[in-house]
Amino acid sequence: MKNLCIAILGATGAVGTEMLNALNERGIPCDSLRLLAAPVEAGKKILFRDRELTVEGASENSFQGVDILLVAAANEISERFSPLAVQQGAIVIDNSSAYRLDPKVPLVVPEVNPQDIETHSGIIANPNCSTIIAMVAVNPLYRRHRVRRMTVSTYQAVSGAGIRGLQELERQVAAYLRGEALEHETFQHQIAFNVIPHIESFLENGYTKEEMKMHNEGRKILHDDQLTVTCTCARVPVFRSHSEAIQLMFDEEVDVEEARELLRTAPGVKLMDDPAHNVYPMPVDTSNQDLVYVGRIRRDLADRHMLNLWCCGDQIRKGAAVNAIQITQLVIQKYFA
């Protein structure tokens, strides 16, 4: 195998940190690892595999000799640096939304469409966290019985808004217990003991950008322009791990027990579906691990062609960092083995 040089752009953030963890946990071979971040972070020391690495300030010249660049930074940072990295010979795996809907850029969930990495022109995009979680849960059913329509409600943890979201919930809970006023900056309203049906900006059709990601990205990942995904996204006062209620309409009637068996053996899925014994997916159980838990599988009361299910997944790990590292594994096997 070629001596690999991997770089992480945005290495000091929440997703970048989890990428480092996943690189180590999955034993990804890298003879050289470069940690890139904003210039203000330059000089920071990070321990990786018993080596102390020094964070470098990202610049136009940071990508010489890099084989794989993992981007854990904002859209504008990716738009600035990813094309430069490709020009300098790197394959870019981008966690931002900058290139997700670019027709020349594959959008990949390894459990769903791993073959799409072969269509890349230098950049491979990581889907939105809620889309990844939904696709892992839905794909086994979709492949056996084509899905015509999905109706999804997401209950998204505050960590989806980064460290500021976590800190705001912590501050508000502490203020509430002290009987003080609850101030908000990161979210549009108080998040402690509240639910906010508003993630990202609203569009002219009444949906938010976050809600349309599920529709647009889901169709691209499944290569199905006929699929309709109607989504409502809410922010909930949970620290980590997103939850989703999903209704699926199929072309034909689908047996509930068959659906359970398909999910029981599906890659990336853990079936948690025994309501009689209080067994079902919950954010507290799915945090800090990489599987999507699926349960509450039941036939819809209005239409026998519909099934309903509930799923949860860690949006920082499987919904972002780990999905990118799984793509990295595919890239290494395909191009560097």
- The per-residue pLDDT for range 159-177, each reduced to its tens digit, is 999 889 999 999 999 999 9
Q: Give me the pLDDT at residue 3, please.
A: 84
CA atoms of 153 and 175, how far apart (whole Å)? 30
Tens-digit pLDDT string for the chain (337 aa): 678 999 999 999 999 999 999 999 999 998 899 999 999 999 999 999 989 999 999 999 999 999 999 999 999 999 999 999 999 999 999 999 999 999 999 999 999 999 999 999 999 999 999 999 999 999 999 999 999 999 999 999 999 998 899 999 999 999 999 999 999 999 999 999 999 999 999 999 999 999 999 999 999 999 999 999 999 999 999 999 999 999 999 999 999 999 999 999 999 999 999 999 999 999 999 999 999 999 999 999 999 999 999 999 999 999 999 999 999 999 999 999 8
Q: Give me the pLDDT at residue 31, please.
A: 87
The string of pLDDT tens digits covering residues 121-148 is: 999 999 999 999 999 999 999 999 999 9
- Those residues whose C-beta lies under 8 Å from the C-beta of residue 119, and which sit 6 or more positions away, are 106
The string of pLDDT tens digits covering residues 265-317 is: 999 999 999 999 999 999 999 999 999 999 999 999 999 999 999 999 999 99
- 280 and 272 Cβ atoms separated by less than 8 Å: yes
* pTM for the whole structure: 0.96
- Residue in the structure block whose two tokens are 């900056």: 185
CATH fold of the domain at 131-315: Dihydrodipicolinate Reductase; domain 2 (3.30.360)
129 catalytic residue (yes or no): yes
Burial group, residue 289, by CB count within 10 angstroms (0-12, 13-18, 19+): middle
CA atoms of 17 and 71, how far apart (whole Å)? 12
> 3-class DSSP state for residue 134?
helix
- Residue in the structure block whose two tokens are 């499987």: 318
The domain segmentation of the chain, as residue ranges, is: 5-126+320-336, 131-315
| HSE toward the beta carbon, residue 275, CA cutoff 13 A | 7
Q: Which residue is catalytic, options 120, 233, 242, 312?
A: 242
Burial group, residue 194, by CB count within 10 angstroms (0-12, 13-18, 19+): middle
Q: Which residue is catalytic, options 129, 233, 311, 312?
A: 129
Cα–Cα distances (Å) from 195 to 157, 164, 232, 312, in that order, read: 10, 17, 12, 17
- 93 and 68 Cβ atoms separated by less than 8 Å: yes
- 183 and 263 Cβ atoms separated by less than 8 Å: no
> 3-class DSSP state for residue 106?
coil
CA atoms of 337 and 1, how far apart (whole Å)? 5
CATH fold of the domain at 5-126+320-336: Rossmann fold (3.40.50)
189 catalytic residue (yes or no): no
Helix extents (H) in the chain: 14-25, 75-87, 129-144, 163-178, 209-222, 256-264, 283-286, 322-331
CA atoms of 181 and 204, how far apart (whole Å)? 34
What is the CB neighbour count within 10 angstroms for residue 113?
Answer: 17
